Amino acid sequence: MKMRAVSAQVLLLLLLLELVRARDCTGSSRCTGSSRRYTPDWPSLDSRPLPAWFDEAKFGVFIHWGVFSVPAWGSEWFWWHWEAEKLPAYQNFMKENYPPDFSYADFGPQFTAHFFHPDSWADLFEASGAKNIRYGLYHSLLEWFHPLYLRDKKNDFKTQYFVRAKIMPELYDLVNRYKPDLIWSDGEWEGPDTYWNSTDFLSWLYNDSPVKDVVVVNDRWGKNCSCHHGGYYNCQDKFKPETLPDHKWEMCTSIDKMSWGYRRDMMITDVASEYSIISELVQTVSLGGNYLLNIGPTKDGLIVPIFQERLLAVGKWLSINGEAIYASKPWRVQFEKNETSVWYTSKGSTVYAIFLHWPESGILSLESPIATSTTQITMLGIQNDLKWSTNPGEGLLVYLPHLPPAAVPTEFAWTLRLTGVK
């Protein structure tokens, strides 16, 4: 299976918190730059500018929390692997742990959320680097075992019983009732956008919905849409372009490298390291993307300590280096792959060089910036200017400060602020 879907008997809404350190939008021109009306076709819908808050945000937290958090084993695709594919590991897990007549629906009453305290979650997410919290919803178009969906699928999606009776009324209700700032669509890959009536919904969303001026959507609106149509592009889970894309994009990934939902069988080797998370964040933002980091709470509503630790590590790093991340733009050069691995961002005329490895010589070579008579270089987290010289070849040589380990701003991924460079 090429992508992730919601494993639920009825639609489960999974909370998406897009973490924003940007101003709120107070008017349509401020958010989208346009007050035009959009027709239900891709050329028109694709021409809508993204509300500014999304590009300024850069970092978000994805939350997969649902009935699959009760068995909490294997992955959030538990129901599909068990009932549809009948994978031996899942079959054996159920035989060893539950009675023979146990159904997926029987997990429902055990999804208690007994220790769910939203204020504590919000405090954690703020500590992970958020200044404001915007509300978004994950929404799966398909439902694996819904009889109307299976009927349409059998008819090669020439009928729309499921869409008309279930999905579209649901989507309109969700927007009117909850007014999300972001809709993270998924589960689109078996049917075309014409089956899902995606363009009709999006034209209403952009023109007449209560969130028309601020709402952001992704690109999963039909099997022909990913990386081609919609709002920003996901393209695929854990998408990593190698060069600067010409369209706003997002990398979504999970702290648990093997699953999006909480797993009781998670091993420490399955957990992404602080270095790998922050490195991915830096690389994503340098290439113009947003970084969406997933956690899976337990059925009781707890965020396990290892996930808290990773989120807090991101927050600690952003507290020092966030100037180079929030509301930044890609520079004319995005990266230099050398022994230090340097990634660039910019704000106006200021350039930020984030290097992932400290050079043994203590001298950092930057190939791309061109010095001028007003060039100044500082390291975020350290007050004094750094000494530098022009490289006999090209670029600059920056003489890094000689500091005891405790005085270095961060353990990895250090940021230089360069002013007066070309």
Single-letter residue type at 263: R
Give domain status of residue 224, yes or no.
yes
**Does residue 180 share a domain with residue 205?**
yes
- List, in order, residues 6 or more apart from 104 with CB less than 8 Å away: 7, 9, 67, 78, 79, 82, 83
User: Which CATH number does the domain housing residue 186 bear?
Assistant: 3.20.20.80
Q: In this predicted structure, what is the pLDDT of residue 132?
A: 79
**Does residue 153 share a domain with residue 61?**
yes
Domain count, the chain: 2
Q: In this predicted structure, what is the pLDDT of residue 386?
A: 97
Q: Helices 305-321 and 118-127, interaxial angle, to 10°? A: 40
Q: Which residues does the chain have with pLDDT short of 70? A: 1-34
* Domain span including residue 149: 42-66+111-324
What is the distance between the alpha carbons of residues 181 and 216, in angstroms, rounded to a whole number? 6
Give domain status of residue 168, yes or no.
yes
Q: In this predicted structure, what is the pLDDT of residue 3?
A: 39
User: Which of 298, 324, 350 is the last residue before a domain boundary?
Assistant: 324
Give domain status of residue 116, yes or no.
yes
**Does residue 334 share a domain with residue 316?**
no
Single-letter residue type at 12: L
Q: What are phi and psi of 322, to 5 degrees?
A: -60, -25
**Does residue 291 share a domain with residue 170?**
yes
User: Which of 280, 295, 324 is the last residue before a domain boundary?
Assistant: 324
User: Which CATH number does the domain housing residue 365 bear?
Assistant: 2.60.40.1180
Neighbours of 389 (CB within 10 A): 11
User: Which of 324, 342, 360 is the last residue before a domain boundary?
Assistant: 324
Neighbour-count burial of 189, counting CB atoms closer than 10 A to its CB (0-12 exposed, 13-18 middle, 19+ buried): middle
Single-letter residue type at 410: T
Tell me the per-residue pLDDT of 339-384, one tens digit each, with 9 for 90 and over.
Answer: 899 999 999 999 999 999 999 999 999 999 999 999 999 999 998 9
Q: In this predicted structure, what is the pLDDT of residue 34?
A: 57
